[in-house]
Amino acid sequence: MWAVVLETFGPPDVLKLREVPDPVPGPGQALIDVAVVNVTFVETQVRAGAAPNPALAPTLPAILGNGVGGEVIAVGDGVDQALIGTRVISTTGGTGGYAERAVVNATDLLEVPEGLGLQEATALLADGRTAIWLTQLAEPQAGEWVLIEAAAGGVGSLLTQLVRARGARPIAAVGGERKRRLVTQWGVEDSVDYTTADWTDQVRAIIGGRGVDLVFDGVGGAIGQAAFGLVREGGRFAPYGMASGAMTTLDEEEIQRRGLTIVGPSARPSPEELRQAARTALQEAAAGRLRPVIGQTFPLRAAAEAHAAIEARATVGKTLLIP
Ligand SMILES: NC(=O)c1ccc[n+]([C@@H]2O[C@H](COP(=O)([O-])OP(=O)(O)OC[C@H]3O[C@@H](n4cnc5c(N)ncnc54)[C@H](OP(=O)(O)O)[C@@H]3O)[C@@H](O)[C@H]2O)c1
């Protein structure tokens, strides 16, 4: 089969299309004929040799890709044969996704609900479970102001919808006018462009001079730091990513003084909790209450282009590869 192989850490063009042996499902595993591959932001950092968590860095050579969608075409010992032919999405357990076929643990398979496309379902696998889980932890309340960084991105576009669904008021914070126009088209009333110097003043102006009730911080760095400063006394800050390359620095003394609650970092969801969050995302989408934004698709062989686009902040919503 064809797969995109990482032989050395480096810039996007280290991702090479290679012919490799087909994987064979062992006991408890299933083989998926991959129709869609989910590309996550963190995979660009892993590829570059800058994984935010060393445990995410694979032994090379490796096939990146932690999420796929497709049809089960074979199963290993101990797995129900009736799964063959089902339309599924699944985590790969870390690697193996950028390929025409992938072996996964059968317990990780999630059947795609009737009425939901395979691309939509795959787009929700990682971003959907993250957004659902974060929303459940942070519990945005009706009437609250919620600042969402990278709101035109994969997780951000879903958080924005989930916040609105709870009756809270999202402020979509994005990089650039193009993305601002886009979130406005999606129906978000309030947005700011954090590449402008006075963006925090713009946020305060939107909410009449006070601070925001909750921030979802997927960017970190200077943007996360400035957003941290925008939280009202007694408010919540939910850091979950570092697209800028650095997590937001959280000063314990300041957290105490301002009476803030930090949501997320110490919560360690179990694999079953994450699977349940992914299931919820699929159900919400099938019911028409959550809309995955598929911003761009690339052929599998163009995985390097996909990574380059993500790093250049040129993507919106989810990026998918099609084998
Ligand atoms: N996907 C998941 O399930 C998941 C789970 C846990 C954690 N995370 C983390 O959450 C963050 C967002 O993930 P995502 O998959 O939803 O990605 P994404 O938002 O689709 O893409 C990242 C976005 O971050 C913004 N950004 C700000 N500074 C950047 C910089 N220096 N370089 C590149 N991008 C920059 C860009 O949006 P603007 O141009 O609008 O600034 C960019 O589009 C990442 O740090 C990721 O590791 C994701």
Ligand 1: which residue has its CA nearest to atom 19?
153
List residues bridging with 37 in a β-sheet: 68, 321
Looking at per-residue confidence, does 113 or 268 come out higher? 113
Ligand 1: which residue has its CA nearest to atom 48?
241
Which residue spans of the chain are classified as CATH 3.40.50.720? Answer: 126-262
Is the distance from CB of 278 to CB of 113 less than 8 angstroms? no
116 Cα–ligand 1 center, Å:
25
List residues bridging with 318 in a β-sheet: 294
The model's pTM: 0.97
For ligand 1, mutation pick of 37, 40, 41, 216 (most atoms within 8 Å of CB): 41
**Measured CA angle at 319 (ends 266, 39), to 5 deg:** 55
We find that the CATH architecture of domain 2-111+293-322 is Alpha-Beta Complex (3.90)
218 Cα–ligand 1 center, Å:
6
Q: Where are the alpha helices (DSSP H) in the chain?
A: 41-47, 118-138, 154-165, 177-185, 199-206, 221-229, 252-258, 271-286, 303-311
Which residue spans of the chain are classified as CATH 3.90.180.10? Answer: 2-111+293-322
Ligand 1: which residue has its CA nearest to atom 41?
175
Q: How many CB atoms lie within 10 A of CB 97?
A: 30
Q: Which whole number is the average pLDDT over 288-300?
A: 98
For ligand 1, mutation pick of 46, 122, 124, 155 (most atoms within 8 Å of CB): 155
List residues bridging with 9 in a β-sheet: none
Question: pLDDT tens across 148-163, in order?
Answer: 999 999 999 999 999 9
Question: pLDDT tens across 182-192, in order?
Answer: 999 999 999 99
Looking at per-residue confidence, does 53 or 156 come out higher? 156
Task: State whether the beta carbon of 183 lies less than 6 angstroms from ligand 1.
Answer: no
- The topology (CATH level 3) of 126-262 is Rossmann fold (3.40.50)
